[in-house]
A and B are shown apart, each in its own frame.
Chain A
């Protein structure tokens, strides 16, 4: 049959998780087929798009327009708004996640913060009696964390006496990058009030690494690193292809076939013309990260799995988490000069852990080091200034403007749900994901203190024009929707990311993370995906 393809392993999704799995398996000599809903993208094209974006989009931090969406694989667009994904609930705004669909996934634009979670983050319930524990322990994950750090090229501080950083057996692959002026000054100023501002581990080259150059501080990590010094998932897509994996872009998986033993036998995808293609394999991996993975599992419900694939527990699409954030901006009394170095180089980690977590959410506080010139320019023009006064005001704001954020640990709550929209469909007729979200009392209680911290920091800088978001904003750290756990009755995947329901179906996604912690989830997603790859290798090569 012309429309039928086959491989040892089919990986659905080519972001960092899918590409890590594909790369490992191709390296092990397995035939790997990667199906990607969105198109291929090229760096120079993205840089060109960004260069030509209107200043208003740039000043509004519109990191989506340069990644044009396609009708068969929608992702969020903001200017104008396309309403993808559909969100509601008390904190709907906090789940408008800026995902990208296409070869390489969302890490085309990110700050590359690559944290390990703390052992207590991973065993939140065991440690503090709240939330849930992961299917794996920190010790079981550590080797995979290190491998992910090596594959991505992570730089970071090796001082494990910092409060709080995860323990490590091996040093970081690279030394940290030097701070720019703003991170230096921020560290000095907040230290006077007892805040420890420490280097963020970053998947960014502080020296030439893996054939890619070192960061030269374009400060353009979001929306696109123009020189390839920052890690993107697409590197592992390309590495997998060099090892023989085949990538089919614009292939939207919509159906999953299962047999009498409830093993997956095939997936079906639509091409952009809605022609259906069937793909068979021995092992299947869904790697659409935290939104598209549960969406597909629900969409692909079949006779044997009427509530959705891998959903006998009814946990698919539940426990949706992120790090609800509060953002404050102000004009400091002195020039700070954000913009030197990468966009996120340091953060305050004093409140990542502590016994208070029994009562309210741990937080990470940090300064966005994104250059202020775009915002400064737009604001100065709005002020009606011209000539020399305009130049001076742009200069003052570019020097003194600061953005400070607080991100909160959110608890797994089964009522925070992703379902298939009943009202909106994409170009192929596939329903939008529809997410209902409430950050919960645990976060709201913590946010009271967060706002006090923000006011204190603003005062340290003699701030004027202080503006703080009255709502929680999203951070694109999507977790929980295919939650991991030991008990098949209340979780979707096991400690190897294998679905409880289908022994040859793995989910390589941050959706398996059962608690959110306070820091970017990407390194954990990548490490968990390496565990999936290890289990698949064990099955297929030694099983």
Chain B
């Protein structure tokens, strides 16, 4: 008989891929938050340049800036060697948005871009063809980028990146979201196209930190709540936390109870570098991705600068919160209450939260919930995800797991959601488990319903605007937007007169 050839099925290591929720809401004409599972970059695809090189060489400086701005997270398909070739599919409630090829390929990338065209794309969300980008590209944050940094980024993308002559798939969204021109209206309303201006009354370190946090690392895109038009709520609410699909990006203001006020400088720096601070928090979901791809690669001076700035973000207290989320809960052992006392062969369906905890969680987090002494398996008591005002990060961690690489170490907690090969739990089981964990180790005032677990499993609450798809509603929205644009344009003209 014929010999089957192995050539077509030569084994390749299964890529580790991560479900995660997109860091940025994919906004549109009417802007709707796109939140969905997608695959993140497995490893940062760009080696961190040495500090000396960053100073002297604009290409190396641009490379560092590209890491700080985390361009690769969206512009490279995870696991692909085609760095910055785009094609990364962002699943939004309106459809897939594909990131563009930003290699210097003349045909398919940005090889023909002038520096001015590049700058306009980065800071104003308009590409060289005059087409509006969807704000899945965080240009509202990048708008403040300095000319010098844009020039360095341009130098890096033109000279330091290999061209990939391959077209990224075209984004085709349903009406009305496919009307890209309507982004003009949104931009008029929400894009503050102003460069970063240092505050002379503050230290150079603080100014550097502000620039990193507000602009390059675009922290606000996740940590600042969005308004009904899915634009960031500037002002008092800045950095006070926001829903991010299935996850909750916490309050990172300086508030001692709801924010980072109770964290030491060293703890904040360690968190940015490793995503792990015992007794406080562990980065999961989109923040794990930010640590993995970007933050851990920042210089110590830049990390210090970020910390210095975070310290000064005006405090926002979550109404009703009395104690920091990491201060909640205590270790408690119920193992002796359950082990050996039940008949064998109790059905999974009949298991209560404490049994599910014992069978699915305790082998790592220990029956006491304290984790291991070396902190490798974190304590569930004194843990932001378990003691906070939102149950979402606890439930999302159970559903989707934790996946983070920092300092050459890969941390992985398997997900227990649908399709889990370790143990798939139903919505009711996840709710019952999460409720046990909250009662036992965390914020006992909270509870979770199976319906809420189901919602988070599907990517979290759908932003109101994303529900507006469909011809009738779509047309209405476009008309309203057109009126808004007209009104604003007139106002501007009047102002000019």
From B6, B344, B347, B364, contact of A227 by CB (8 A): B364
Say yes or no: is B339 at the interface (Cβ < 8 Å to chain A).
yes
- State A150–B10 Cα separation when bound (angstroms): 11
Point out the residues of chain A lying under 8 angstroms from B340, CB to CB. Answer: 51-52, 54
Inter-subunit contact A538/B359 (CB<8 Å): no
Point out the residues of chain B lying under 8 angstroms from A65, CB to CB. Answer: 344
Inter-subunit contact B412/A226 (CB<8 Å): no
From A49, A147, A227, A494, contact of B9 by CB (8 A): A147
- The verdict on A216 contacting B345 (CB below 8 Å), with A228-B423, A496-B4 known, is no
Inter-subunit contact A235/B358 (CB<8 Å): no
B 386-420 binary contact with A (CB < 8 Å = 1; else 0): 00000000000000010100000011111100010
Inter-subunit contact A51/B348 (CB<8 Å): no
Point out the residues of chain B lying under 8 angstroms from A538, CB to CB. Answer: 2-5
Point out the residues of chain B lying under 8 angstroms from A496, CB to CB. Answer: 1, 4
Closest to B410 in A: A208
Inter-subunit contact A151/B2 (CB<8 Å): no
Point out the residues of chain B lying under 8 angstroms from A173, CB to CB. Answer: 13
Known: A214-B412, A538-B4. 19 other contacts (CB 8 A): A42-B423, A43-B359, A45-B346, A48-B359, A51-B359, A52-B344, A54-B340, A143-B6, A150-B14, A208-B403, A212-B421, A213-B412, A216-B363, A216-B377, A226-B359, A228-B414, A242-B419, A535-B1, A538-B3
- State A541–B359 Cα separation when bound (angstroms): 44
CB neighbors of B among A508-539 (8 A): 531, 534-535, 537-538
Inter-subunit contact B344/A143 (CB<8 Å): no
Inter-subunit contact A238/B421 (CB<8 Å): yes
Say yes or no: is B360 at the interface (Cβ < 8 Å to chain A).
yes
Listed A/B pairs (6) with beta-carbon separation below 8 Å: A44-B348, A143-B10, A150-B12, A211-B17, A238-B419, A537-B4
Inter-subunit contact A212/B358 (CB<8 Å): no
Point out the residues of chain B lying under 8 angstroms from A220, CB to CB. Answer: 363
Inter-subunit contact B359/A47 (CB<8 Å): yes
- State A213–B410 Cα separation when bound (angstroms): 10
Inter-subunit contact B419/A52 (CB<8 Å): no
Say yes or no: is A66 at the interface (Cβ < 8 Å to chain B).
yes
B 352-364 binary contact with A (CB < 8 Å = 1; else 0): 0001101110011
- The verdict on A210 contacting B14 (CB below 8 Å), with A51-B358, A147-B9, A227-B363 known, is yes
CB neighbors of A among B335-379 (8 A): 338-348, 351, 355-356, 358-360, 363-364, 377
Point out the residues of chain B lying under 8 angstroms from A151, CB to CB. Answer: 11, 14
Say yes or no: is B200 at the interface (Cβ < 8 Å to chain A).
no
Inter-subunit contact A227/B422 (CB<8 Å): yes
Counting chain A CB atoms within 10 Å of each CB, the highest count among B339, B355, B401, B422 belongs to B422
B 11-37 binary contact with A (CB < 8 Å = 1; else 0): 111101100000000000000000000
| Nearest 9 interchain pairs by C-beta | A228-B422, A208-B412, A538-B4, A147-B11, A226-B363, A534-B4, A44-B359, A47-B359, A150-B11
Inter-subunit contact B9/A48 (CB<8 Å): no
Point out the residues of chain A lying under 8 angstroms from B415, CB to CB. Answer: 211
Closest to B351 in A: A48
Inter-subunit contact B11/A42 (CB<8 Å): no
Say yes or no: is A115 at the interface (Cβ < 8 Å to chain B).
no
Point out the residues of chain B lying under 8 angstroms from A146, CB to CB. Answer: 11
From B1, B339, B363, B419, contact of A218 by CB (8 A): B363
Say yes or no: is A204 at the interface (Cβ < 8 Å to chain B).
no
Point out the residues of chain A lying under 8 angstroms from B9, CB to CB. Answer: 24, 147, 534, 537
- State A216–B412 Cα separation when bound (angstroms): 12
- State A212–B338 Cα separation when bound (angstroms): 27
Say yes or no: is A488 at the interface (Cβ < 8 Å to chain B).
no
- State A151–B344 Cα separation when bound (angstroms): 33
- State A504–B213 Cα separation when bound (angstroms): 64
Counting chain A CB atoms within 10 Å of each CB, the highest count among B10, B360, B411, B413 belongs to B360
Inter-subunit contact A49/B364 (CB<8 Å): no
CB neighbors of B among A194-240 (8 A): 207-214, 216, 218, 220, 226-228, 234-235, 238-239
Closest to A209 in B: B16
Say yes or no: is A498 at the interface (Cβ < 8 Å to chain B).
yes
- State A543–B17 Cα separation when bound (angstroms): 34
Inter-subunit contact B13/A212 (CB<8 Å): no
Say yes or no: is A459 at the interface (Cβ < 8 Å to chain B).
no
A 309-343 binary contact with B (CB < 8 Å = 1; else 0): 00000000000000000000000000000000000
Distance to closest chain B CB from A537 (angstroms): 6
Point out the residues of chain A lying under 8 angstroms from B403, CB to CB. Answer: 208
- The verdict on A498 contacting B1 (CB below 8 Å), with A143-B6, A242-B419 known, is yes
- State A494–B339 Cα separation when bound (angstroms): 50
Inter-subunit contact A211/B6 (CB<8 Å): no
Closest to A532 in B: B4
Distance to closest chain A CB from B331 (angstroms): 18
Point out the residues of chain A lying under 8 angstroms from B348, CB to CB. Answer: 42, 44-45, 48
- State A242–B420 Cα separation when bound (angstroms): 11
From B4, B421, B422, contact of A535 by CB (8 A): B4
Closest to A43 in B: B423
- State A228–B423 Cα separation when bound (angstroms): 8
Point out the residues of chain A lying under 8 angstroms from B5, CB to CB. Answer: 534, 538
Closest to A148 in B: B11
Inter-subunit contact A534/B421 (CB<8 Å): no
B 222-243 binary contact with A (CB < 8 Å = 1; else 0): 0000000000000000000000
Point out the residues of chain A lying under 8 angstroms from B351, CB to CB. Answer: 44, 48
Inter-subunit contact A212/B414 (CB<8 Å): yes
Inter-subunit contact A48/B346 (CB<8 Å): yes
